[in-house]
């Protein structure tokens, strides 16, 4: 499968002229009252990682800007620790000197959570990439935070195991980043969330304290589950250095079907049917609207294996018995084609074809960026209102935009809605926000299904979270990082 690293290269070619729109200046943000990094501090910090650091804003360009190249900070120091002890020493020092730190994994996030806002020191985990243990009996992997998802999967495959999550960025995203953003991805409906699959964790607190919760057992009800603090808190409460994860069995039988559907009501019905008929073998149910398919063809020359139609659906099964799985899939497809739910469809005969078809879904983000500027939204919307948001936004934006497309994980009520223009347009931006978030809030959706809050969405958090829940977030942040040196300006609304 195409790795996001190549997607990044391809993207950089087509969008090197983009100017980051999300900077401290945009919000007239004032730098927090942090210590200034002296030459002595720099030297000391670099010595803590045996020289494995980079100095200078220019030298750090790739690390100061996010993957989409629309969020940018101005850090002058990046550190690449190799051990938990080094992470602890760095934070202990920064804490004592009141220096702000931004943790950074693969930097594939889409809400600006992994780049600095001002001059925070970047603590990059890419050298913490050791797989410490794979236990084929329990199916548990113990690995450092910097392990790349794809590489982890390669090692696990030798033991007939795989990570319980899969996402487009797998070629560059790291385990620590996955966990700290509570990554969901393509197969959550089958393998569940990281909150259940992360069995143990080691993390370093703001003051350098190492918290060891490295359990590898499925059941452990001994007091509060402290590791949950670090799942999904985007590096604002601590830095994850290691984790143990319950893997899934590598399926011996994988099937992929690509289907054409006429209306979104049919997509919804198809999902209910797939859940009933495919039952325990259903592993993904993704949809792509026709505007997406047009974009893939125009920008990446990728064509779908079926005739164009309003909606395409990708259904995947993972199972342990290929005869049984194929029988289930065949009966299901026959039934939904006979009753007209599906108008056209095909099943991949080999894994190469399956890989090619997955690219239509996985390279969507890349494909859109070729248009110029992408306004990217990742929301949860109850299925009865799901696609309405795309229609509403299209009407609202009309000719002012190039495209307004919808795709995503129907099985998780997770819609990716993306809007493109040749270059950033403030008018379009203001037509979209806060309207889109308010719309989602009104239908009891979530303004961030899986991307998180990061830097870009803090001011909209109240639309998905009650005031009392936000107050509890602040309480926790103040208790765990009273100096607010860990990933400041992120997740929590600025006061």
Q: Which is nearer to its own copies, 233 or 418 (CB)?
A: 233
CB 301 within 8 A of CB 293: no
Q: How far is CA 197 from CA 168, 182, 194, 232, 395, in A?
A: 20, 11, 5, 13, 41
Cα–Cα distance measured from residue 110 to residue 168, given in angstroms and rounded to the nearest whole number: 12
Cα–Cα distance measured from residue 152 to residue 31, given in angstroms and rounded to the nearest whole number: 38
CB 159 within 8 A of CB 134: yes
Helix (H) or strand (E) holding 211: strand 210-213
Q: Residue 452, interface with its own copies (CB under 8 A)? A: yes
Q: Fill in the per-residue mask, 117 to 156: x = in contact with its own copies (CB under 8 A), - = not in contact.
A: --------------------xx------------------
**Cis previous bond, 190, omega within 30:** no
Range in contact with its own copies (rule: CB under 8 A) among 22-30, 37-45, 146-154, 222-230: 222-230
- How many Å is the Cα radius of gyration of the chain? 22
Range in contact with its own copies (rule: CB under 8 A) among 4-12, 287-295, 348-356, 410-418: 410-418
Q: Binding its own copies by CB under 8 A: which of 228, 290, 355, 425?
A: 228
Q: Residue 334, interface with its own copies (CB under 8 A)? A: no
Q: Residue 413, interface with its own copies (CB under 8 A)? A: yes
Q: Binding its own copies by CB under 8 A: which of 36, 265, 423, 475?
A: 475
Closest approach of its own copies to the CB of residue 251, in Å: 8
Q: Binding its own copies by CB under 8 A: which of 16, 17, 222, 338?
A: 222
Q: Binding its own copies by CB under 8 A: which of 102, 281, 417, 486?
A: 281
Closest approach of its own copies to the CB of residue 461, in Å: 6
Site residues for its own copies, 254-273, by CB under 8 A, read 268, 272
How many alpha carbons lie under 13 Å from residue 4 in its C-beta half-sphere? 23
Site residues for its own copies, 419-438, by CB under 8 A, read none
Q: Residue 211, interface with its own copies (CB under 8 A)? A: yes
- Name the DSSP letter for residue 166: B
Number of residues near its own copies (by CB under 8 A): 91
CB 383 within 8 A of CB 266: no
Q: Binding its own copies by CB under 8 A: which of 277, 388, 429, 433?
A: 277
Q: Binding its own copies by CB under 8 A: which of 383, 385, 394, 428?
A: 383
CB 381 within 8 A of CB 391: no
Q: Which of 208, 151, 159, 198 is nearest to 178 (CA)?
A: 198
Q: Residue 385, interface with its own copies (CB under 8 A)? A: no
Cα–Cα distance measured from residue 466 to residue 109, given in angstroms and rounded to the nearest whole number: 25
Range in contact with its own copies (rule: CB under 8 A) among 117-125, 205-213, 290-298, 390-398: 205-213
Q: Fill in the per-residue mask, 158 to 177: x = in contact with its own copies (CB under 8 A), - = not in contact.
A: --------------------
Q: Binding its own copies by CB under 8 A: which of 59, 212, 339, 438?
A: 212
Q: Fill in the per-residue mask, 180 to 199: x = in contact with its own copies (CB under 8 A), - = not in contact.
A: -xx-x---xx--xx-xxx--
CB 155 within 8 A of CB 247: no
CB 386 within 8 A of CB 373: no
Range in contact with its own copies (rule: CB under 8 A) among 95-103, 150-158, 353-361, 442-450: 442-450
Q: Where are the beta strands (DSSP E) in 233-363?
A: 239-246, 248-249, 253-261, 282-289, 311-319, 344-347
Closest approach of its own copies to the CB of residue 252, in Å: 8
Closest approach of its own copies to the CB of residue 103, in Å: 16
Cα–Cα distance measured from residue 74 to residue 482, given in angstroms and rounded to the nearest whole number: 24
Cα–Cα distance measured from residue 183 to residue 425, given in angstroms and rounded to the nearest whole number: 30
């Amino acid at each position: 499968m195409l790795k996001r690293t190549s997607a990044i290269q391809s993207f950089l070619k087509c969008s090197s002229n983009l100017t980051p729109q999300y900077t401290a200046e945009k919000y007239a943000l004032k730098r927090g009252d942090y210590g200034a990094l002296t030459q002595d501090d720099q030297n000391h910090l670099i010595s803590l990682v045996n020289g494995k650091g980079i100095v200078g804003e220019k030298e750090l360009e790739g690390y100061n800007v996010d993957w989409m190249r629309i969020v940018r900070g101005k850090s002058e120091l990046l550190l690449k620790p190799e051990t938990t002890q080094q992470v602890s020493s760095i934070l202990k020092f920064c804490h004592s000197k009141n220096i702000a730190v931004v943790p950074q994994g693969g930097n594939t996030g889409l809400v600006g959570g992994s780049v600095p806002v001002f001059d925070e020191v970047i603590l990059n985990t890419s050298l913490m990439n050791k797989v410490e243990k794979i236990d084929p009996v329990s199916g548990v992997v113990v690995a450092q935070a910097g392990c790349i998802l794809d590489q982890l999967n390669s090692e696990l495959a030798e033991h007939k195991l795989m990570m319980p999550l899969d996402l487009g960025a797998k070629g560059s995203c790291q385990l620590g980043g996955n966990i700290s953003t509570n990554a969901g991805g393509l197969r959550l409906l089958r393998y569940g969330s990281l909150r259940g699959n992360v069995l143990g964790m080691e993390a370093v607190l703001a003051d350098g304290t190492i918290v060891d919760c490295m359990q590898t057992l499925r059941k452990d009800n001994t007091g509060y589950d402290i590791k949950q603090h670090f799942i999904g808190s985007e590096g604002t409460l601590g830095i994850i250095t290691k984790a143990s994860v319950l893997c899934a069995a590598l399926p011996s039988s994988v099937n992929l079907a690509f289907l054409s559907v006429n209306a979104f009501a049919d997509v919804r019905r198809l999902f209910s049917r797939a859940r009933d008929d495919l039952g325990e073998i259903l592993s993904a149910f993704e949809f792509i609207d026709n505007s997406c398919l047009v974009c893939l063809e125009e920008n990446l020359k990728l064509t779908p294996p079926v005739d164009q139609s309003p909606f395409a659906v990708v259904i995947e099964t993972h199972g342990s018995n290929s005869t049984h799985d194929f029988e289930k899939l065949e009966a299901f497809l026959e039934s939904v084609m006979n009753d007209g739910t599906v108008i056209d469809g095909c099943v991949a005969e080999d894994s190469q074809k399956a890989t090619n078809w997955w690219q239509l879904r996985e390279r969507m983000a890349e494909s859109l960026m070729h248009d110029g500027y992408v306004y990217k939204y990742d929301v949860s919307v109850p299925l009865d209102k799901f696609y309405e948001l795309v229609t509403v936004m299209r009407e609202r934006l009309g000719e002012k935009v190039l495209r307004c497309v919808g795709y995503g994980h129907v099985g998780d009520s997770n819609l990716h809605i993306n809007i493109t223009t040749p270059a950033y347009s403030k008018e379009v931006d203001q037509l979209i926000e806060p309207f889109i978030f308010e719309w989602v809030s009104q239908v009891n959706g979530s303004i961030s299904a899986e991307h998180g809050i990061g830097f870009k969405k803090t001011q909209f958090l109240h639309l998905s979270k009650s005031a009392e829940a936000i107050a509890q977030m602040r309480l926790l942040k103040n208790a765990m990082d009273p100096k607010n040196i860990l990933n400041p300006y992120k997740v929590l609304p600025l006061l």
